[in-house]
Structure 1
Amino acid sequence: MRRNDKSSLLFVLIFLLIVSVTFSIMSVEARKHHTKKSKPRPHKHQKDKHGPEPDSRFPSPAPAPLPHYGSYNRTKSSIFDVLSFGAKGDGVSDDTKALIAAWKAACRVAGATVEIPSEFKFLIKPITLQGPCMPNLVLQIDGTLLAPPKVGSWPKSSLFQWINFKWLHNFTIQGNGIVDGQGFEWWGGSESNSIQLYVVTSHWQKKSKHIPEMKPTALRFYASYNVTVRDIKINNSPLCHLKFDSSGGIKVKNIHISSPENSPNTDGIHLQNTKDVEIQHSDIACGDDCVSIQTGCSNVHIHHINCGPGHGISLGGLGKDKSVACVSDIVVEKISLQNTLAGVRIKTWQGGIGSVKNVSFSSIQVSDVKVPIIIDQYYCDKHLCNNQTGAVAISGVEFNQIIGTYSVQPIHLACSNSVPCSDVDLIDIQLKPSSKYQSFQQALCWNSYGKSQAPLVPSSIDYCLRRDSGSVKRIARSREHMC
């Protein structure tokens, strides 16, 4: 082959190689360009803040809805309405199982509410609603809870209480509803004549033999702490209306308790072995003590209470059957008592052991109260009790600003011969006989040691207290170690 032919062939090969390489490069660039167009770059000033700008040609998909944790849904999920658990709410059907089921479900949820809805009546047989439960459980009573009305329908094993709350912490009962104990048969009467004095017929006397000696308390708390009861009404309990036993951190506010004046032994609020209590701004009218404070109670504050009819505010009876009784640090103030058997009183049984100390009754307004001020270390609930030596020591008691009218006797201080009352202060006592009554008794003061301070009406109160030489105080202190 000639040299010229070889050169021409070489030129053609080089040309084809250049064309092939150029075509390959152009194809790669075209693919890069297509990819860049489908994903346009964001504006420089948006890149870091908001991420890539969406392509305006295609609408973005709607984001998935976030779980809603608003207050409405959360509250709704924590309300356990007894109607949702099968309650009828007609006042006749037995709704006990529904209440228990609602309670058990709510007990497992923090901040839950068991709801007793308004405009319904729920017949509930004796039950125990117990914990421990999750904190801040609420029983919202807006409707009416009814106890069994017939004595014979109560099981013999359930005569101690109607609704028992047990082992609860951080628990609240509230609402504008009613807890009705329907205790008329237990008292020996009927609902139709509940407002009047009961007329006991021969028929009822025969029937009353079947009434058990033990009668149930309406609402009882046992071994429960940080409990609040507010706003509700408790009516017609066979025995006590509201009882706290072996509990602490109790708050009672703005409740209304009512039963007929002659319903026997129906205390309004009953405290036993319970500490750190505040009872305030409530109205109590019942057949026995408006508030009864029993052994084992301390740090109790009772104020702004309207009491009457009833037996007044009482500590005791303490020391029955030679038992040990210990009560201390009680403040009762700003109380109004109308038409009660007693005003403020301390009552202990002969032969008892222990002590009552640091008690203050102040700013007490009385109207037609039989005996406004009482300390009785000879308490007896029978016609006759045997005399016994020994007594629960009473010391450090102040009666301050007790003002109003009495219908029988202004003051009754009957203290033990062997364990006299010591450090009793009478300050600003102004008690006048009621114009409604004609026969009155003189003030009684026996073995009471302390001091008095004017004004004192009647003037005989000024001579009521003896001066203590120190021996009486030593007797009181010797009893305190038993507590």
Structure 2
Amino acid sequence: MALLKHLLFSFTIFIISFVFCYGSLQEDPLTSIYVHHSPSVDDGGTLFKNFNKQSANVLSLNRFEKRGSLKKVNVNDYGAKRNGDTDDSEAFKKAWDEVCDSGEAILVVPKDNYLLKPIRFSGPCKPNIEVQISGTLEAADDPSDYDEDSRHWLVFDKIKNLYVYGGGTLDGNGKVWWENSCKKNKKQPCKDAPTALTFDSCEDLTVENLNIENAQQIHVSFQDSENVKVSGLNVNAPEDSPNTDGIHVTKTKNIQISDSVIGTGDDCISIVHGSKNVEATNITCGPGHGISIGSLGAGKSKDVVSGIKVNGAKIFGTKNGVRIKTWQGGSGSASDIKFQNIEMNNVTNPIIINQNYCDKKKRPCQKAGSEKSAVEIKNVVYENISGTSASEVAVKFDCSEKFPCQKIKLQNIDLACEGGDDAEALCNNVDKLSYIGHVKPRCSKE
């Protein structure tokens, strides 16, 4: 009888353990991105995150083991001159066609210098392809080379399970575009310039360990894509280079950006319309305009973003820290947003929501209270943010009078002026503003 009781007890413990583990592993991996309204700092889901990390390590190991069996397609074998002065675009196109058509292959760019005109690496392709960029790709700087497509330099589109890596450099050679920008030369008309690297309509995409510099305009853009992992990017351009966003996310869902260093003349990361479940971790940002959601609602458009999380960032010497920016007259929403574990150093606007953005050059600005619609902002959490502000106002919520910001939470905030004086917080039209723990500065008007 004692043996039977022991067996029944052991079996019960096994069943309970199995149910617990199975339930944990069935958790949606994207739930960690959504805002939790509990005051606790811990996001939970540790068991799943550890399992997910182990799974990623296993996948990386399998990928490494399989790489030895993949066919290597070297651009030099297809006629690339690799001297940095002769156009190598045709060689890259031929090599790509071979990789895409055959599958089970790696497009290899050795440690040489290559000059490239605009190229579109299009799919769909046969499964299991990679692009290993070890050399330096330099963009052609003659604007006439971009007559057919003035918005792009290198594009990967309509590809599933693509892996791009290698430690190489993509140089957008953007000086000629910057000099002719209306922001640098007031006599020039305002027009768009090429994005250096674009991933369009890709699925299950991994991009890691690349240097992207001196883009004509945006450095790297992810658009209309799904299930994207980005890590180990170094993005660099002069502080006065116009519109040179580092990483731009639009109409993309389930994207993780991690362990990247970004310093440009515009936003380090910009997240715009149609983006859902975006997570950025361990980001170093500066110089530039900070990490931005928006702008949203331009031209009275309806824009929606949700499930945005920035967890772990060092932001220094930037115009903004973490920002949400929406145009007057737009519609839609920006919701379920969390900024946490962020260090600020000499940032002009460390925490800012601007729901009344208006470019006076393009149209007259509406008067406060006259707007008929707005991109509504709700469920935003700022947690564990500290450092220094280059201005007296470290926290600024400039929300719509008719469509106020809703459910804004500040938790464990410690921001002071660069010289050590107390900073200010200005809050206009915020509905349900809450504080948890030490929060400094606090809004005088709530």
* Same fold, judged at TM 0.5 (above): yes
Q: Note the C-alpha offset of 1:456.
A: 1.6
Kindly indicate whether the alpha-carbon contact (under 8 Å) linking 1:355 and 1:393 is maintained by their aligned counterparts in 2.
Answer: yes
What secondary structure sits across from 1:254 in the alignment?
strand
Which position in structure 2 is the counterpart of 1:116? Answer: 109
What secondary structure sits across from 1:154 in the alignment?
helix
Equivalent pairs counted in the alignment come to: 374
Kindly indicate whether the alpha-carbon contact (under 8 Å) linking 1:378 and 1:416 is maintained by their aligned counterparts in 2.
Answer: yes
Which position in structure 2 is the counterpart of 1:229? Answer: 207
CA-to-aligned-CA distance 1:313-369 (integer Å, 9 cap, x gap): 100010111111111011111010010110001111111111111000000100000
Which position in structure 1 is the counterpart of 2:365? Answer: 385
Which position in structure 1 is the counterpart of 2:347? Answer: 369
- Give matches, 1:14-163, under 5 Å: 75=68, 78-118=71-111, 120-151=112-143, 153-163=144-154
Kindly indicate whether the alpha-carbon contact (under 8 Å) linking 1:420 and 1:447 is maintained by their aligned counterparts in 2.
Answer: yes
* Correspondence 1:327 to 2:305: yes
- Give matches, 1:333-352, under 5 Å: 333-352=311-330
Kindly indicate whether the alpha-carbon contact (under 8 Å) linking 2:324 and 2:354 is maintained by their aligned counterparts in 1.
Answer: yes
Larger RCO (CA under 8 A, 6+ residues apart)? 2
Match of 1:451 among 434, 437, 441: 434
- Shift of the 83–386 alpha-carbon distance from structure 1 to 2, 3 Å rule, reads same
- Name the aligned partner's letter for residue 119 of structure 2: I
Residues in 1 aligned to 2:278 and 2:375: alpha-carbon distance in whole angstroms: 19
Kindly indicate whether the alpha-carbon contact (under 8 Å) linking 1:424 and 1:448 is maintained by their aligned counterparts in 2.
Answer: yes
Residues in 2 aligned to 1:113 and 1:98: alpha-carbon distance in whole angstroms: 15
Q: Note the C-alpha offset of 1:385.
A: 2.2
Which position in structure 2 is the counterpart of 1:249? Answer: 227
Q: Note the C-alpha offset of 1:74.
A: 8.8
Kindly indicate whether the alpha-carbon contact (under 8 Å) linking 2:114 and 2:136 is maintained by their aligned counterparts in 1.
Answer: yes
* Correspondence 1:394 to 2:377: yes
Kindly indicate whether the alpha-carbon contact (under 8 Å) linking 1:319 and 1:351 is maintained by their aligned counterparts in 2.
Answer: yes
Q: Note the C-alpha offset of 1:403.
A: 0.2
CA-to-aligned-CA distance 1:173-218 (integer Å, 9 cap, x gap): 10111000000111118xxxxxxxxxx8xxxx69x74x87220000
Kindly indicate whether the alpha-carbon contact (under 8 Å) linking 1:369 and 1:406 is maintained by their aligned counterparts in 2.
Answer: yes
TM-score by length of 2: 0.80
- Shift of the 331–74 alpha-carbon distance from structure 1 to 2, 3 Å rule, reads closer
- Name the aligned partner's letter for residue 161 of structure 1: H
* Correspondence 1:180 to 2:180: no
Which position in structure 2 is the counterpart of 1:434? Answer: 418
What secondary structure sits across from 2:366 in the alignment?
coil
What secondary structure sits across from 1:108 in the alignment?
helix
Residues in 1 aligned to 2:251 and 2:308: alpha-carbon distance in whole angstroms: 13
What secondary structure sits across from 1:106 in the alignment?
helix
Select between 97-106 and 77-86 the one with higher mean Cα deviation.
Answer: 77-86
- Shift of the 73–435 alpha-carbon distance from structure 1 to 2, 3 Å rule, reads closer
TM-score by length of 1: 0.74
- Name the aligned partner's letter for residue 410 of structure 1: A
Kindly indicate whether the alpha-carbon contact (under 8 Å) linking 1:228 and 1:251 is maintained by their aligned counterparts in 2.
Answer: yes
- Name the aligned partner's letter for residue 137 of structure 1: I
Q: Note the C-alpha offset of 1:73.
A: 12
Residues in 1 aligned to 2:219 and 2:330: alpha-carbon distance in whole angstroms: 27
Kindly indicate whether the alpha-carbon contact (under 8 Å) linking 1:342 and 1:373 is maintained by their aligned counterparts in 2.
Answer: yes
- Name the aligned partner's letter for residue 426 of structure 2: L
Which position in structure 1 is the counterpart of 2:39? Answer: none
Which position in structure 1 is the counterpart of 2:266? Answer: 288
- Shift of the 273–373 alpha-carbon distance from structure 1 to 2, 3 Å rule, reads same
- Name the aligned partner's letter for residue 168 of structure 1: I
Residues in 2 aligned to 1:76 and 1:135: alpha-carbon distance in whole angstroms: 14
What secondary structure sits across from 2:117 in the alignment?
coil
Q: Where does the alignment leave 5 or more consecutive residues of structure 1 unmatched?
A: 1-70, 190-199, 467-483
Q: Note the C-alpha offset of 1:136.
A: 2.2
Residues in 2 aligned to 1:101 and 1:406: alpha-carbon distance in whole angstroms: 52
- Shift of the 441–385 alpha-carbon distance from structure 1 to 2, 3 Å rule, reads farther
Q: Note the C-alpha offset of 1:265.
A: 0.6
CA-to-aligned-CA distance 1:206-234 (integer Å, 9 cap, x gap): 9x74x872200000111111111100100
Over aligned residues, Cα RMSD in angstroms?
2.3
Kindly indicate whether the alpha-carbon contact (under 8 Å) linking 1:350 and 1:389 is maintained by their aligned counterparts in 2.
Answer: no
4+ residue runs over 3 A deviation = 71-77, 381-384
Residues in 2 aligned to 1:362 and 1:441: alpha-carbon distance in whole angstroms: 20
Which position in structure 1 is the counterpart of 2:12? Answer: none
Q: Note the C-alpha offset of 1:396.
A: 0.4
- Name the aligned partner's letter for residue 415 of structure 2: L
CA-to-aligned-CA distance 1:298-327 (integer Å, 9 cap, x gap): 011101000000011100010111111111
Greater share of residues in helix = 1
Q: Note the C-alpha offset of 1:76.
A: 7.3
- Give matches, 1:397-408, under 5 Å: 397-408=380-391
- Name the aligned partner's letter for residue 329 of structure 2: G
Q: Note the C-alpha offset of 1:401.
A: 1.1
Q: Note the C-alpha offset of 1:462.
A: 5.0
Greater share of residues in strand = 2
- Shift of the 159–322 alpha-carbon distance from structure 1 to 2, 3 Å rule, reads same
Residues in 2 aligned to 1:75 and 1:428: alpha-carbon distance in whole angstroms: 49
